[in-house]
Amino acid sequence: MKIARFQKDRAVAHGVVQGSKIIEIRGSIYRRFRTTDYAHNLKDVQLLAPTEPVQIWQPGMNFAAHLAHAAAITGIHDLPKTPQPWVKGRNSLNHTGGDIVIPKDSGGDVHYEGEAVAVIGRECRRVTEKEAPDYILGYTCGNDVSERAWQKADNFMWRAKGSDTFCPVGPWIETEVDAGNLEMVVKLNGKEVQRACTKDMLFSFAKLVSYISQQATLYPGDLVFSGTTGATSRMKPGDTVEVAIDGIGVLQNPIVAEK
């Protein structure tokens, strides 16, 4: 089932995507809901970020193939023995079709990082790795946009990865996919620039959710990213970046310069 959050005129609602239509629902996507008789053409609505998360979690280094590229930025050359999660600012949340804005005081070295994203479905505290999948509602596409010069210059990543618009997610939540075998492809201006599969994650979504939940309560709608792989490249104003995941959909965003 594909669950989307959308805006039509001034009204915001959740709905179930069926083909080219979105059917409004009543109730909570985290508990119980029912479909209604209100249907809209997808082209006539604005898809929003699928949830309004309290927290957006990044796993740190989570693909061995990303180590060399990351080491050039962080100076850390060893694979982690445990997850290294950190929180990306909620202010950075963006949606499919939304502009990724390169800040005017940036040097312009802003990169894509295509990722799969787990969406938490119920309050989650001190769960085991075996229990963790039961707390995940579904999965969506994400882009952990990163300003590499700031990443190198700063002690923390609050602006390098947490600037406004630097966290596009969407287009919707898919509740019925195999989280251990999601193929992720990034395209820049239609050309493939990155490919990964969740089967190669150092720490699975179950491991990440369990690990985070030992110290921090996760809430319905919170997002847990997979991490990225390989080397990435810069995006420039006028570009379009896409993150596509088989079985889920395509997250697409134009790149613009801050005015």
Q: Is residue 19 domain-shared with residue 108, that is, in the same domain?
A: no
Q: Is residue 129 domain-shared with residue 140, that is, in the same domain?
A: yes
Q: Is residue 117 domain-shared with residue 3, that is, in the same domain?
A: no
Which pLDDT value is given to residue 1?
Answer: 96
Last residue within a domain, chosen from 29, 48, 67? 48
Which pLDDT value is given to residue 73?
Answer: 59
Count of beta carbons in the 10 Å neighbourhood of residue 203? 22
Count of beta carbons in the 10 Å neighbourhood of residue 114? 27
Provide DSSP, 7-64: EETTEEEEEEEETTEEEEEEE-TTS-EEEEEEEEEGGGSEE--S---S-EEE-SS-BG
Domain harbouring 36, CATH code: 2.30.30.370
Please say whether the beta carbons of 210 and 127 come within 8 A.
Answer: yes
Q: Is residue 34 domain-shared with residue 62, that is, in the same domain?
A: no
Which pLDDT value is given to residue 72?
Answer: 53
Written as tens digits, the pLDDT of the chain (259 aa) is 999 999 999 999 999 999 999 999 999 999 999 999 999 999 999 999 999 999 999 998 898 875 656 555 566 667 889 999 999 999 999 999 999 999 999 999 999 999 999 999 999 999 999 999 999 999 999 999 999 999 999 989 999 999 999 999 999 999 999 999 999 999 999 999 999 999 999 999 999 999 999 999 999 999 999 999 888 999 999 999 999 999 999 999 999 999 9
Q: Is residue 152 domain-shared with residue 190, that is, in the same domain?
A: yes
Q: Is residue 7 domain-shared with residue 57, that is, in the same domain?
A: no
Give the domain range for residue 210.
49-257
Q: Is residue 106 domain-shared with residue 38, that is, in the same domain?
A: no
Which pLDDT value is given to residue 126?
Answer: 98
Domain harbouring 76, CATH code: 3.90.850.10
- For residue 254, say if its preceding peptide bond is cis, omega within 30 degrees of 0: no
Backbone dihedral region for residue 19 (phi beyond 0: left; psi -120 to 50: alpha; all else: beta): left
Q: Is residue 41 domain-shared with residue 126, that is, in the same domain?
A: no
Provide the number of structural domains found in the chain: 2
Q: Please write the tens of the pLDDT for every residue from 141-195.
A: 999 999 999 999 998 999 999 999 999 999 999 999 999 999 999 999 999 999 9
Q: Is residue 168 domain-shared with residue 144, that is, in the same domain?
A: yes
Q: Is residue 109 domain-shared with residue 141, that is, in the same domain?
A: yes
Q: Is residue 212 domain-shared with residue 125, that is, in the same domain?
A: yes
Q: Is residue 28 domain-shared with residue 136, that is, in the same domain?
A: no
Backbone dihedral region for residue 72 (phi beyond 0: left; psi -120 to 50: alpha; all else: beta): alpha
Q: Which helix (H) or strand (E) holds 210?
A: helix 205-213
Which pLDDT value is given to residue 231?
Answer: 85
First to last CA, the chain: 39
